[in-house]
Structure 1
Amino acid sequence: MALEVGSVVEGKVTGITKFGAFVELPGGKTGMVHISEVAATYVKEIRDFIQENQVVRVKILAVTPEGRINLSMKRALSPEQQQAAPEGRPAAPRRPAAPRRSSAPIDYSRGPAQPQTFEEMLSHFKQRSDDKMSDIRRNLDGKRGSSGPKRHGGSR
């Protein structure tokens, strides 16, 4: 059977490495699925998504002149399947929302961007600046540790 670029075929996973998985295709040829082509979500550990001897659907991306066959599991999925994260598998890691820096409450009653006097703006700026400086001092105090170097062993 001739392997054509763009066709979707089934194959058996014969080996898994840190960077991808090797899949035996119809006709006895072997291709490789790079880690970035395993799933539509972030893949840190390939074994979380596939196992050796598992039968998988792959799309043939390229066949090099040297005979290497580049495959993709995620491109063999339908567009709807690519959108949804597979059940029971980790989705892409998300960063937690950054905490608000200012402790001053937001006044939503004023409406959208009403002009303030210079004194109000200056007062607000000074308050935010003081809050930030106290946060910085608090963080630095925790990182400084003791006041001097510790000596180990006996005295001199």
Structure 2
Amino acid sequence: MTLAAGNILEGTVVNITNFGAFVEIEGNKTGLVHISEVADSFVKDIREHLKEKDKVKVKVISIDDNGKISLSIKQANVQKKSANPIEIDWSLENKKNYSASGNFEDIMSKFLKDSEERMQDIKRNQDFKSKSGRRSY
């Protein structure tokens, strides 16, 4: 495989510095994973995430004219995440608030009743605040 931007490869961490990690890919080629490309969250100490001789998946971000290779662990892992989206069981939400076994009209009437009750509570609270704030002279 030829080395090109966008490729995802497996490499070995060969050196760790304060600003990133050097990863050996495709034989004797070495690229830099900048500290900002190690994880999705803020990385203060890279040694908490990587150590030498770790096998990591990296994405080739760029190769400059001098042959310097920029790599990213974070972007290589994004590919995996997007392939398996999180599934949400919406039925649990419905069971909490409204009876999922009822038909649409029953669910809607319950929603409207709850909404109206909340609006009345808000209006009462606002009226109380406005009356208690007034002074008669």
For residue 126 of structure 2, what is the aligned residue in structure 1?
114
Paired residue type of 1:4: A
Give distance in 2, aligned partners of 1:121 and 1:52: 71
Give distance in 2, aligned partners of 1:53 and 1:59: 18
For residue 70 of structure 1, what is the aligned residue in structure 2?
70
Partner-residue secondary structure (3-state), 1:75: helix
Greater strand content: 2
Matches within 5 A, 1:48-87: 48-77=48-77, 78-79=80-81
1:111: Cα distance to partner?
2.1
Give distance in 2, aligned partners of 1:2 and 1:111: 65
For residue 35 of structure 1, what is the aligned residue in structure 2?
35
Unaligned runs of 5+ in 2: 86-119
Paired residue type of 1:79: K
1:71: Cα distance to partner?
0.2
Unaligned runs of 5+ in 1: 84-108, 123-156
Paired residue type of 2:57: R
For residue 97 of structure 1, what is the aligned residue in structure 2?
none
Instruction: Tell me: CA distance 1:32–1:120, structure 2 relative to 1, closer, same or farther (3 Å).
Output: same
Paired residue type of 1:114: Q
Identity %: 42
For residue 19 of structure 2, what is the aligned residue in structure 1?
19
- TM-score, normalized by length of structure 1? 0.54
Instruction: Tell me: CA distance 1:121–1:43, structure 2 relative to 1, closer, same or farther (3 Å).
Output: farther
1:4: Cα distance to partner?
1.2
- TM-score, normalized by length of structure 2? 0.61
1:40: Cα distance to partner?
1.6
